């Protein structure tokens, strides 16, 4: 699995993966006060075993995005409903900035994941 992933990763993707890790792991600054931060951290931790399962079943590094869709998709909906839709949500507070960055990161990631899955289904990857 590691070799297949390394072959599929370009320098730009490597930078993106570091960004994703930084954003998700930044949740540790908020876990003591916010339930959503705890859920985000748990979702990030859950992604690895789900990705391993997807790779084991498919033998394709390009389908690992299924794990992101399965875990981060519901997380995004939860964050929007439980945080952004609250009238008291403060976008300019550190927590608010982090939530917005996390949701933007998830949105970009899911966009590329869906693209990769479609390309695999079309036989282009």
pLDDT tens column, 57-83: 998 888 999 999 999 999 999 999 999
CA angle (18 as vertex; 53, 122 as ends), nearest 5: 50
Residue owning tokens 């917005």: 100
The Cβ-side half-sphere exposure at 45, using a 13 Å CA radius, reads 8
Determine the straight-line distance between the first and last CA of the chain, rounded to whole angstroms. 16
The structure tokens listed for 17 are 């993966």
For the entire predicted model, the pTM comes to: 0.91
In the chain, where does DSSP find H-type helix?
Answer: 2-8, 11-25, 35-58, 65-79, 94-121
Q: How many CB atoms lie within 10 A of CB 54?
A: 21
pLDDT at 1 over 70: no
The phi-psi region of residue 123 (left if phi > 0; otherwise alpha if psi is between -120 and 50; otherwise beta) is: left
pLDDT at residue 24 is higher than 70: yes
């Amino acid at each position: 699995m590691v070799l297949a992933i390394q072959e599929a990763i370009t320098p730009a993707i490597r930078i993106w993966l570091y960004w994703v890790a930084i954003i998700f792991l930044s949740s540790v600054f908020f876990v003591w006060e916010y339930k959503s931060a705890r859920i985000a951290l748990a979702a990030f931790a859950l992604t690895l075993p789900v990705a391993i399962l997807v790779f084991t079943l498919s033998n394709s590094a390009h389908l690992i995005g299924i794990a992101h869709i399965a875990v981060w998709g519901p997380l995004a909906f939860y964050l929007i409903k439980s945080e952004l839709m609250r009238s008291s949500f403060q976008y300019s507070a550190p927590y608010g900035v982090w939530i917005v960055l996390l949701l933007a990161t998830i949105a970009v990631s899911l966009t590329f994941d869906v693209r990769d899955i479609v390309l695999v289904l079309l036989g282009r990857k």
